[in-house]
Amino acid sequence: MNCDHADPAELDALRQVFGVDDEGESALGWDAVRAFEAEHGIVLPEPYRTFVAEVTDGSYSGPPEYGLLPVAELPDDWGDDGQERDLSKPFPLTEAWLWEDDPEGGDDEDELIERVYADGSIVLGTDGCAMNWHLVVSGPHRGHVWLISDVGAVPFGAEFGHTTADPGFAGWVRHWAADKPWDDAV
């Protein structure tokens, strides 16, 4: 997984999976990507960065269940708690954590849970019922995809033992495409 350089073969595969044939019209464009990054004090990990700049910024087809969100949006079921998100702060986790099963509890746990939702990740989309896929954009897990729900958070990828797929955005998309070939994509 290379978070700093886009692999042209991965970008071609992403175009195929999402069925994007609008010659980049649905893409954000490089100026908008750089403005988003400057506003939030981050650099988006590759290949996601090039994908939203040149291919598409969101899609109704493809992963997750309810489509890929544009880079700056949150799912409809996110809630309205007014919590500030800070993408430049490091994502706080490096291993799976099911807080629902954590017997410790307490104020420190509540604060950490808030940071899991607020710090260092963008939301790729939702599978509904507050099960949201995040792409980590800062911290030690930059470039990794995580499933965060109301009961815990789990990193995606074979190295974490939760799937046989490659980690990162491209691995996550390939995994979904293998299970659900939208529009006959591979």
pLDDT for 184 equals 44
- Write the burial class of residue 148 (CB in 10 Å: 0-12 exposed, 13-18 middle, 19+ buried): buried
Question: Mean pLDDT lowest for which of 16-20, 71-75, 90-94, 119-123?
Answer: 16-20
Q: Alpha-carbon distance 115 to 138, whole Å? A: 13
The token pair at 31 is: 């100026």
Question: Mean pLDDT lowest for which of 14-23, 37-46, 50-59?
Answer: 14-23
Segments in 106-167 forming alpha helices (H): 107-118
Q: Is 3 part of any domain?
A: no
Count of domains in the chain? 1
Question: Mean pLDDT lowest for which of 74-83, 109-118, 140-149, 171-180?
Answer: 74-83
Q: Is 121 part of any domain?
A: yes
Determine what percent of the chain is predicted with pLDDT higher than 70. Answer: 87
The answer to whether residue 166 scores a pLDDT higher than 70 is yes
CATH number assigned to the domain comprising residue 138 = 3.40.1580
